[in-house]
Amino acid sequence: MTDVVSFPAGASAKPARRDIGIKRRYAAERRFRAYGIAALSFGILFLFILLYSVVSKGYTAFQQTMITVPVEFSEQIIDKDNERATDPQKLVTANYPLIARNAVAKVLGVAETDRSGLRAVNQMISDGVRGQLRDMVVANPQIIGTTQTVSLLAAGDIDSAFKGQIDLSVSENNRKVSDQQVGWMNQLAESGALGKHFNTGIFVNGNSSRPEAAGVGVALIGSFYMMLIVLVLALPIGVAASIYLEEFAPKNKFTDLIEVNINNLAAVPSIVYGLLGLAVFINFMGLPRSASLVGGLVLTLMTLPTIIIATRAALKAVPPSIRAAALGLGASKMQTIFHHVLPLAMPGILTGTIIGLAHALGETAPLLLIGMVAFVANYPTTPMDPSTALPVQIYMWANEAERAFVERTSGAIIILLLFLVVMNVGAILLRRRFERRW
């Protein structure tokens, strides 16, 4: 094949060559190559378009428009008849949005008799101030009657308008903010009262029907519980199963069946696991709907094949000489595997596990079926409590009609992608740091 063929000297005299279509063939070659480059660039181009569209829509979600004004905690409004000593409910049910509205109206100079003006002011403030001011008063009833400077959440539409996401050139009737409100918004912004602040709410708040108050806090906790359950169950079971199949299993019909089975389970559509969870864990075993425990179990079954396949590859990569040496020194087969083979295969196993976990973290479809689409605003304290998950939260927000939710959804996607990046980079580093080449 590599023999050098020496041509006779006459060959260099270059007689007229017969046309064998070399030009055409080379053109075809170049075309073929161009197709390859085009295909590759198409894929990579769309990766960047996807990431760009998510980031450009979502980075504003990490900022939130706030209106910082002096708020008078008027005793007149909160507790007119001074009953708070006897009836603590009084402080909880007081009309806090009115206090906020009055504060903003005062700064804007809207008269107390101007009904429509006051209504327009009210629409500029999020209803989330109710909870915000209530918590302040309940924590410290002393502030009743005083005036405090408070940063109030602006309403979702004002937030969108201030971030320039609402086209103000459209006729006033066809958009959600009036010219009057835009004027006030600019007035407040010039005086420095209205401005963008870092949005901690998106990380800590629960779900809300108001975009400005909605966050992924509950979803993060739910996803965390599920990942924990997957890790605790899938890793030991997966490793044990792979050790048996790789090291002990005799070659017979049964192990063949398990093998084919695992390969098929890895390719079963994820939504089928959701049906399994619904039928077995919820209907048959009676576990609660929407609980992260059920979600974790379903994702465990889904991740198991991935972990088993990765672990078997890692075990296979440990050279037989290690086993032979351990056996030769008198170790039993079990000792050989647990003391020598498994530690050496660990980096590969952990890498596979992290990738499996990352996959489970982004999985949505099975969770929809076991009721994790429920509207959950409170933090779950145990895995048995109703909860939701990060990708499911994204799905729920994607179905919301309001403009401000598009931004929130993209923001939540950025958070999800960041988690995935961290996990995958971790897996890569782990592999680089500990992987041995034999």
Partner 1 sequence: MSTPLILLILAIIAVVCYVVGTRHALAIAGGLSSKLHSRPGYYGSFVAICAVLPAAIVLAAWLIASPLYINSTIRGGFPEDVKAKSEAEQGLAFGMVNSLARGMDILTLDEIDKVGANPAELRSALGAKGVALAGDPEPYMVESAGDLNAMNKISNRVMTAVVLIVALIGAGLSYTRISHRFRARNRVERVILGALVVASSIAIITTIGIVMSMLTEAGHFFGRVPAWEFFFGTVWDPRFAAAGAAASEGQFGLIPLLLGTLYIGFVAMLVAVPVGLFSAIYMSEYASPKLRSVAKPLLEVLAGIPTIVYGFFALTTVGPFLRDLSSSINGIATGDFANFIQAQSVLTAGFVMGIMLIPYVSSLSDDIITAVPRALRDGSLGLGATKSETIKKVVMPAALPGVVGALLMTASRAIGETMIVVLAAGVAARMQLNPFEPMTTVTVKIVSQLTGDLEFTSPQTLVAFALGITLFVITLCLNIYALFIVRKYREQYE
Interacting residue with partner 1 among 92, 279, 418, 429 (CB under 8 A): 279
CA distance 57 to 55: 5
| Identity of residue 96 | Y
* Nearer of residues 314 and 416 to partner 1, judged by Cβ: 416
Please give, one letter per residue, the 3-state secondary structure of 245-301. HHHHCCCCHHHHHHHHHHHHHCCCCHHHHHHHHHHHHHHHCCCCCCEHHHHHHHHHH
Minimum CB separation of residue 57 from partner 1 in Å reads 7
- Among the residue ranges 127-135, 202-210, 317-325, 331-339, the one whose residues contact partner 1 (CB under 8 A): 331-339
* Nearer of residues 77 and 233 to partner 1, judged by Cβ: 233
- Among the residue ranges 33-41, 61-69, 345-353, 377-385, the one whose residues contact partner 1 (CB under 8 A): 33-41
Q: Which of 143, 124, 127 has its CA nearest to residue 78? A: 143
C-alpha distances out from residue 190 to 50, 118, 125, 195, Å:
36, 21, 18, 9
* Nearer of residues 57 and 130 to partner 1, judged by Cβ: 57
Minimum CB separation of residue 354 from partner 1 in Å reads 12
**∠269-260-246 over CA atoms, to 5°?**
120
- Among the residue ranges 8-16, 83-91, 151-159, 257-265, the one whose residues contact partner 1 (CB under 8 A): 257-265
Told to check if 37 binds partner 1 by CB under 8 A, we report yes
Told to check if 301 binds partner 1 by CB under 8 A, we report yes
Number of residues lying near partner 1 (CB under 8 A): 86
Told to check if 203 binds partner 1 by CB under 8 A, we report no
Told to check if 218 binds partner 1 by CB under 8 A, we report no
Minimum CB separation of residue 279 from partner 1 in Å reads 4
Please give, one letter per residue, the 3-state secondary structure of 54-93. HHHHHHHHHEEEEEEEEEECCHHHHCCCCCCCCCCHHHHH
The length of the chain is 438
* Nearer of residues 237 and 430 to partner 1, judged by Cβ: 237
* Nearer of residues 197 and 333 to partner 1, judged by Cβ: 333
Told to check if 46 binds partner 1 by CB under 8 A, we report yes
* Nearer of residues 363 and 385 to partner 1, judged by Cβ: 363
Told to check if 358 binds partner 1 by CB under 8 A, we report yes
Site for partner 1 in 376-415 (CB under 8 A): 391, 394-395, 398, 406, 409-410, 413
Query: In which element (H, E) is residue 194 found?
Result: strand 194-198
How many beta carbons lie within 10 A of that of residue 256, not counting itself?
Answer: 11
Interacting residue with partner 1 among 304, 315, 342, 345 (CB under 8 A): 304
The H-assigned helical ranges of 2-21 are none
Told to check if 112 binds partner 1 by CB under 8 A, we report no
Interacting residue with partner 1 among 244, 324, 343, 429 (CB under 8 A): 244
Token pair 């937030």: residue = 159
CA distance 202 to 234: 31
* Nearer of residues 47 and 80 to partner 1, judged by Cβ: 47
Query: In which element (H, E) is residue 152 found?
Result: strand 147-153
Interacting residue with partner 1 among 149, 191, 261, 382 (CB under 8 A): 261
Told to check if 57 binds partner 1 by CB under 8 A, we report yes
Cα–chain center distance at 106? 41
Interacting residue with partner 1 among 280, 327, 344, 346 (CB under 8 A): 280
